[in-house]
Chain A
Amino acid sequence: MRLYEFQAKKIFADHGIKVPNGCVVNSPVEAGKITEEFGVPVAVKAQVLMGGRGLAGGVKFAQNPDEAQKLTTHILGGSLKEEDINCVLVEEKIPIETEYFAGVTLDYHSKTPVVIASSRGGVDIEKIALEHPAEIVKEKIHPPLGLTDFQARRIAKKNGLKGRNMLSFATILKSLYSMLLDLEATLVEVNPLALAADGSFIAVDAKIVLDDNALFRHHELLSELEAYKKIPTEGVKFRKSLAEKAEIPTYIELSGNIGIIADGAGTGMLTLDLTKDLGGAVETYCELGGRATPELIEEAMNIVLSNGNIHVLLINLIGGLNRMDEMAKGITSFLSKNTKRLELVGKPEIIVRMSGTLEEEGRKILGEAGIGSFDNIYDAIEKALELSRRS
């Protein structure tokens, strides 16, 4: 889970990294007021979680309060790549001498944290890596040792820094590394890290991505983040937010009339591949993970079928940890509660494929409710395709 820039900057400041004077606001009037207080040109930055914000027009500069107010009105009224904008960060514009890149992330290959730094800051790191691979310094951190002072200095030096600048840069790397550990983040990055005229380094942007699996140890951060999220009330964003709330691992909408619910990532992707290979148009891909409960599959059916484009729902289950008796209970429970609703939306066809742990028990429960099921994945997909063509 990514943090907003203003949240990340607060954490940066708490860890001793200098950030521009700034204030997060959600109205144009406030933006004007803040700019007046600062008394200098400002940057007005949309607070969104997507990448590539600058290129998409989410960062503007204002010379005076009036201009800041106008820009804020414009930014708050729009969205960036379909992401709603709830607030902007108004901050002093920094006169930049040189731009650097500094980040710490986890390297899954070596199973260690890794520091990445470059004197080519200001642009996408992927782009630097492509165009100037030699100008990216990458060093693995030996986990028990952590990032040592000398290693941080060496990385700074490799980026062409000397004297006091080398030492300040090394201090920043150390702070980024300790943030990664403290927050259990998967990425802590600053780009650009500006070297100001007075010789100090300032984090002009800040990016922190937390490990979703470790959020249970960081409740405060999580609730703060939730407070700034706009809750959607309709459409695909709404269905996605419901899936997230229900802790459904994957919910994706594509384009078509077939919905897929699967109980494993590998077989889910296989179902998607085979359905598309055979000419099917998949509208929804929903995957329940290896520890699904009756309630989870019932909620998944609720969410998937609340999309009116679905004419055929293909449920592909092959359980190891997932018990087919439990999956069958969830399916029959959904159907018994939704008879009327399904009639109203024109009765989507529901195809169930069931195999694996306690499959006989599962089939029996389905059978008692008058629901047939397939044993073979291809038979189920072919049936779903046949029905989807009819609709």
Chain B
Amino acid sequence: MCILVDKDTRVIVQGITGTVGSFQTKVMLDYGTKVVAGVTPGKGGQEIHGVPVYDLVEEAVEENGGDTTISFVPGPFAADAAIEAIETGLGLVVLTAEGVPLLDVMRVMNLADERGVVIIGPDTAGIISPGKCKVGVHPHKLFVEGNIGVISKSGALSYEVSKALSEAGIGQSTVVGIGGGPMWGLKQVEALKMFERDDETEQIVLLGEIGGTMEEEAAKYIREHISKPVVALIVGRHAPEGEKMGHAGAIIHHGRGLAEGKIKALKSAGVHIVKGPREIPLIVKDYF
């Protein structure tokens, strides 16, 4: 097993005809992901890399099945695309868009909660279960199948750490990018819960960053519910106060959201803290 996506996942790509959507569809297909249909309003009837394109998500699902969507629809229109996917009954919605208006995000999250739909993102690289399925934009050469579950706010940081693991001969069960915030669908706690239940995952790597209180919540959850070893890397230790560090959620405000507090909370929950990616394979190897 692995979490969220596996070899049977049937994927719809929203925004498939754009430059990014089309390129990433090709990469996902090459990886072996079952991309069954694409959606771009007004482009129904076309084909992209052999994948049929529809105007509506419901048409795409009716004719091809599909349980998961990845959306490359840009920020200003991302919420409508997500709501369409939720209304159509897809269970997992991956939102890659950056810059989605916050009231739009709120609307999407509230509807998703009501319908029991899992949202990944926004501003996420997506999910990869190496060797099985990729619903995301990961440079998959850096990933190898294995037993480490990775949870990351930042996509790029998850590539960096998976690269270090893979080069040390340590593979990953699933790598989940939860997004840059400041509002998240799936959070660290939910991903931890899934990895704890997953047979294939033996250890968990948590990649956090400054801002908010999510890592503190994760620490509490780990102490109470997680039996598997957890290693964490928190970035932004040297970030100046009051500056947005690229992710909307990564900001230190009035001394809150500091790396220090997160590291302390995680340490006291028994989590092994590292300063950089190259330490992770060494710690993980010790546990095996």
Contact = CB atoms under 8 A, between A and B. Distances in A.
Interface of A: 106, 108-109, 111-113, 126, 143-144, 181, 184, 186, 211-214, 216-217, 249-250, 252, 254, 262-270, 272-274, 276-277, 282, 287, 289-291, 318-321, 323, 355-357, 359, 377-378
B154 A265 contact: yes
B155 A276 contact: no
A214 B79 CA distance: 12
B98 interface: yes
Interface stretch (B1-9, B81-89, B99-107): B99-107
Contact of B236 (A212, A216, A273, A291): A273
30 contacts: A106-B103, A113-B106, A186-B102, A213-B101, A213-B102, A264-B157, A265-B180, A267-B154, A267-B160, A269-B210, A269-B235, A269-B236, A269-B250, A270-B160, A270-B235, A273-B275, A274-B275, A277-B238, A287-B246, A289-B246, A290-B156, A318-B156, A318-B160, A319-B139, A320-B125, A321-B96, A355-B163, A356-B159, A357-B139, A359-B139
B106 A106 contact: yes
A128 to B, nearest CB: 13
Contacts of B99: 212-213
Interface string B239-250: 110011111011
Contacts of A289: 98, 246
Nearest 3 Cβ contacts at the A-B interface? A266-B154, A264-B156, A265-B246
A214 B213 CA distance: 25
Contacts of A270: 157, 160, 233, 235, 276-277
B182 interface: yes
Contacts of B153: 266
Contact of B246 (A186, A249, A321, A377): A249
Nearest to A321: B137
Contacts of A282: 238
A212 B100 CA distance: 9
Contacts of A214: 101-104
B98 A290 contact: yes
A266 B235 contact: yes
A264 B212 CA distance: 19
Interface string B140-180: 00100000000011111111100100000000000000001
A214 B104 CA distance: 9
Interface in B49-100: 75-76, 96, 98-100
A378 B281 CA distance: 15
Contacts of B137: 290, 320-321, 357
Nearest to B239: A269
Given A273-B236, A290-B156, A357-B139, A265 B103 contact: no
Contacts of B11: none
Nearest to A216: B76
Contacts of A112: 106, 110
Nearest to B276: A274
Nearest to A320: B137
A280 to B, nearest CB: 10
Given A106-B106, A320-B156, A359-B139, A277 B275 contact: yes
Contacts of B154: 264-267
Contacts of A186: 102
A3 B159 CA distance: 38
Nearest to A111: B109
Nearest to A267: B156
A113 B110 CA distance: 12
B31 to A, nearest CB: 12
Given A264-B157, A277-B275, A355-B142, A213 B125 contact: no
Given A252-B243, A266-B209, A267-B154, 9 more contacts: A106-B102, A111-B113, A212-B99, A252-B240, A264-B157, A266-B207, A273-B238, A287-B245, A290-B125
Contacts of B193: none
B282 interface: no
Interface string B254-267: 10000000000000
